């Protein structure tokens, strides 16, 4: 099992550009989520999904879109990148039952100039 994979590992964007961060898991987990990590802020939830076709907003959703067409994949789209979106992005997944631990991908370090 590869677990949770993310691509790319690093990305530099110019302000206004768009891009998609990819996330895939091979554990057949229904729940998937995206977090951003900023210095001194811990991890904050951007969007999450409890299954294919179902997504919802987290704590900091503005500027990001998600979709979930398959159980395995949960891409995060930045529509028009801003310097405030410079961060490390983590994708995670878990089984659907409440209280299950989440397993995290290796992260994507994004810089917006």
Partner 1 sequence: AQKVTQAQTEISVVEKEDVTLDCVYETRDTTYYLFWYKQPPSGELVFLIRRNSFDEQNEISGRYSWNFQKSTSSFNFTITASQVVDSAVYFCALSEPTGANSKLTFGKGITLSVRP
The footprint of partner 1 on residues 30-59 (CB under 8 A) is 30-31, 33, 35, 40-45, 48, 50, 56, 58
Contact residues for 102 (Cβ-Cβ < 8 A; gap 6+): 31, 33, 92, 93, 94
Minimum CB distance to partner 1, residue 16 (Å)? 27
SS (H, E, C) 16-74: CCCEEEEEEECCCCCEEEEEEEECCCEEEEEEEEEECCEEEECCCCCCEEECCCCCCEC
With contacts defined by CB under 8 A, name the span among 16-24, 63-71, 79-87, 102-110 that binds partner 1.
102-110
Minimum distance from CB of 103 to partner 1 (Å)?
Answer: 7
Q: Judged by CB, which is closer to partner 1: 17, or 102?
A: 102
Q: Please tell me the total number of residues recorded for the chain in this structure.
A: 113
Q: How far is the CB of 52 from partner 1 (least distance, A)?
A: 13
Q: How many CA atoms lie within 13 A of 113 on its CB side?
A: 4
2 is an interface residue for partner 1 by CB under 8 A:
no
Identify the DSSP state of 101. Answer: P
Binding mask 75-94 for partner 1 (x = CB under 8 A): -------------x-x-x--
Q: Does 8 bind partner 1 (CB under 8 A)?
A: no
């Amino acid at each position: 099992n590869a677990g949770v994979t993310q691509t790319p590992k690093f990305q530099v964007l110019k302000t206004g550009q768009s891009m998609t961060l990819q996330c895939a898991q091979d554990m057949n987990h229904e729940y998937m989520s995206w977090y951003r990590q900023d210095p001194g802020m811990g991890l904050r939830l951007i969007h999450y999904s409890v299954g294919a076709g179902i997504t919802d907003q987290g704590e900091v959703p503005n500027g990001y879109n998600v979709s979930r067409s398959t159980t395995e994949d949960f891409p995060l789209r930045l529509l028009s990148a801003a310097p405030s979106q410079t961060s490390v992005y983590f994708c995670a997944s878990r089984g659907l039952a409440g209280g299950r631990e989440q397993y995290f991908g290796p992260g994507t370090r994004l810089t917006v100039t």
